[in-house]
Amino acid sequence: MRRRRSTLGVSQEHLALAAGLDRSYVGGIERGERNPSYTNILRLTEALSIRASELIADAERAGADSGGVEPLAGVSRAGQLSGNGAGDPTRRPAAAEPRASRTR
């Protein structure tokens, strides 16, 4: 996204204003600190006058050029959370333990 924005000669502040987002949020996305929602991706791509698929393709090319993107901590390459099985869509949450009743 930064490359596209820079090519257009647009500041983070101007892009954020055009997309209806906060400048620090746009900066966080460019630094890889924030993960935008689909709605915000659409807002940003509209402000950049490109399709979301173009932005994603640019990001994929940039990742391939730099040797790939490291997975997030606790997330496997398959996209499932590690540890407690929370990423398994077939796993049902554990039932809550009944609370002991208080008698006085």
For the chain, the domains span 2-65
Per-residue pLDDT of the chain (104 residues; tens, 9 = 90+): 898 999 999 999 999 999 999 999 999 999 999 999 999 999 999 999 999 999 999 888 887 776 655 444 444 444 444 444 444 444 445 555 555 556 65
From CA 50, how far away is CA 43, in angstroms rounded? 10
Predicted model pTM: 0.60
Closest CA to 87 of 102, 68, 72, 99: 72
Domain 2-65 in CATH 1.20.1580.10? The answer is no
CB-count burial class (<10 Å; 0-12, 13-18, 19+) for 72: exposed
